[in-house]
Chains A and B, each alone.
Chain A
Amino acid sequence: MATIPNVDFKKRRAPDFPSAALPLLQDAQLRSNVRHATGVIQGKRARVVSEMPDWQALRDAGQRIRAHTLEHLDIYLEQFEQRCIAAGGHVHWARDAAEANRIVLQLAQNRTGRIIKIKSMTTEETGLNRALEAAGIRPVETDLAELIVQLGHDKPSHIVVPALHKNRSQVRELFSRTMNLPQLGDRPEDLAEAARVYLRRQFLSTPVAVSGANFLIAETGGVCIVESEGNGRMCLTLPKKLISIAGIDKIIPRFRDLEVLLQVLPRSATGERMNPYNSLWTGVHPGDGPEEFHVVLLDNRRTEVLRDPEARETLHCIRCGACQNACPVYRQTGGHAYGSVYAGPIGAILTPQLAMMERGQSLPYASSLCGACYEVCPVKINIPEILIHLRGRVVTGRPKVLRAFHPEAIAMRAMQWMFLRATRFSMAQRLGRIAQRPWIRQSGWIERLPTVLGGWTRTRDLRPLPPQSFREWFQARSHASMPSQNSSEAPHD
């Protein structure tokens, strides 16, 4: 198992993407697990998307709902707060991760010393489990994938399928060891049964549950969670107290907006027409479900993301993970290379913004800009455009001295200077032909280059500059433009 870069939003220095990716690229088992799993989900998604004649219209509608919401986020957040309280819920506002964790800690105290959790990437973002453990409360993950991650002291590598980097036999080994089941088989039903037995006790005896949220409905003050296993439904109905943490971007204006979002989300996320479990609840109801219900609204720099008009679309994300499955970079490295719970293309734009561009500066460059993410995004976030925009913010955000003397900045200025006069460009072409001579091998190709260019020759050869550039050919041809002389190369018609 490759080492996982242990990174959180607070740390300034963390391994950059290329270095974090390196050990993962050498982990053949992990790469094969990731490729297989993303391939399976992509195939399912493609099938259920292709059966929708109005898919593009749904994406447009999804985009409009999200854009409208974020434009009027202040209004909808307050409306949500008001309606949630009116329905018997409690609403808490958290400026950052630490504040959110403090709020949950206070609410989570109970006689059993543990809480049960539904899969929530937002609590991964805030590091809630660590905060709970530090305070002596044991968080028990009930989502099968999150349980695998928790039991293995691992980190999620995908926002929908957090244990996507593990295969069945690895899960069997883990369960067998941690649940003390030496005879455990590795059929899906064996593993599900082991988890069921393990979790059932927790469901029945734990009085507090913590969840995330897929959507917060401003109109009703209700919360929506979709899932596949039913473990979430258990957490939402059995405990006496329910605490839901959600980023402020999870708001949708009206109940009927779910018509669009509950179509695009499951098809994009798991390749299902509908999730097996769709839970919607509003406030508390005597004798039915939790007696106490809290929502923690988390900012954690989302308002900073909103501030940048060219990148605020990032918050349109409904966390389906389709961009991760489609991304050829993610498919090679898996999610851990991104050093954040938000991996893949969405992580490459969200993580550095949530870190105020003080961290994760290599992430906007962790993309070939192939556009596969944009193509599958159910709410049409133009991720490649935002990646390019954030690359600009990385460059302009460098300290002044570095902006002037960063080797890349010097190279870019030099190239620009060269490209501003055609004569300089031709001169550079001629110089390049001379400079490359020592590097040309017997094969006639360049097989090793110095400095940063060595990145190229690590896996590829390079054909050297030919003796004549195109412009030289064209000029020579124009000079010799007598029709008779030219006839040998002017093709017959």
Chain B
Amino acid sequence: MRISLFIACYNDTLFPEIGIAVVRVLERLGHTIDFPLEQTCCGQMHYNTGYQPEALPLLRRFVEVFRDSEAVCVPSSSCVTMMREHYEKIALASGDNTLQSEVAALLPRVYEFTELLVHRLGVEGVGAVYPHRVTYHSSCHSLRNLRLGDVPIRLLSNVRDIELIPMEAADLCCGFGGTFSIKNPDVSGAMLEEKLQYIQKTQAEVCTACDSSCLMHIGGALHRRRAKMRTEHIATILASEVASAALRNGGR
């Protein structure tokens, strides 16, 4: 299948390794990846911060760029949440009938990365090897908005040599919340502190999630505390292979 990748602006800029990993996983499964260079941002930051009219041109842009895609893969549940929960509403408010029908036609072809693998491609094992202790953080958007359920866990539990450690209070928000983390830094920090207790209690080496935004927040605090644990997006775990894993383990 020809899969179009919407990388998400912050992944593009801050976490290119996630996009690279998505490309590797999907190519390994025999698919062709297309990355339309005209893409930028889904508009979530504008929309959720109260600048709803400003999100409309970004929605238009997304539709123009991906209108003809067979499937759109997005390694970010929060962007997919923005699209699924608000795009139709924004299109309706714009009064543009063509846009409305284009949005309605495109949305069913937009998938979050793990959702694409399991629900659209029917794959649970992607041939990854990752000999590490890993705990999974369910981001609120993946848990409550996309209702991914155990989809990411099914993918992770098929990774060879991985040790998955369940996290207590798995449905507790980490406190990121987009611009919330900057507008309410102290409350956001306090929420993170509580979440970190549960994350660190797992004594995992790696905390993973479907959203690099939560991970940027969690990882930033782990680094501030000079903790041993690090964060990895689920795509980079699913992209890990024997060769690289073996190398990391000193050529086992």
Contacts and interface: CB of A to CB of B under 8 A. Distances in A.
Given A328-B173, A416-B58, A460-B224, A25 B12 contact: no
Contacts, number: 205
For the residues of A in contact with B, the DSSP-based class is helix
Nearest to A337: B187
A466 interface: yes
Interface stretch (B19-27, B96-104, B152-160, B200-208): B19-27
Interface stretch (B66-74, B108-116, B117-125, B189-197): B189-197
A372 B14 CA distance: 29
A458 interface: yes
A332 interface: yes
B144 A328 contact: no
A402 interface: no
B234 interface: no
B34 to A, nearest CB: 10
Contact of A432 (B7, B13, B187, B221): B13
B191 A470 contact: no
Interface string A437-450: 00000010101000
B30 interface: yes
Contacts of A493: 28, 30
Given A420-B57, A459-B221, A372 B144 contact: yes
B182 interface: yes
Contact of B176 (A368, A416, A470, A471): A368
A456 B194 CA distance: 17
Contact of A463 (B14, B45, B189): B14
B220 A465 contact: no
A453 interface: yes
Given A415-B45, A445-B223, A470-B7, 19 more contacts: A25-B187, A329-B187, A367-B180, A368-B140, A370-B173, A391-B50, A413-B54, A418-B40, A419-B58, A429-B13, A452-B182, A456-B182, A462-B216, A470-B19, A471-B7, A473-B16, A474-B19, A491-B241, A493-B28
26 contacts: A22-B186, A328-B172, A333-B187, A364-B50, A369-B140, A369-B178, A369-B180, A370-B144, A372-B140, A409-B51, A412-B45, A416-B57, A419-B43, A420-B40, A422-B38, A429-B12, A455-B181, A456-B182, A459-B185, A459-B221, A461-B224, A468-B16, A469-B12, A470-B12, A474-B23, A491-B28
Interface of A: 17-18, 21-22, 25, 31, 35, 328-329, 331-333, 362, 364-372, 374-375, 385, 388, 391-395, 408-409, 412-413, 415-416, 418-422, 425, 429, 432, 443, 445, 447, 452-453, 455-456, 458-463, 465-466, 468-475, 489-491, 493
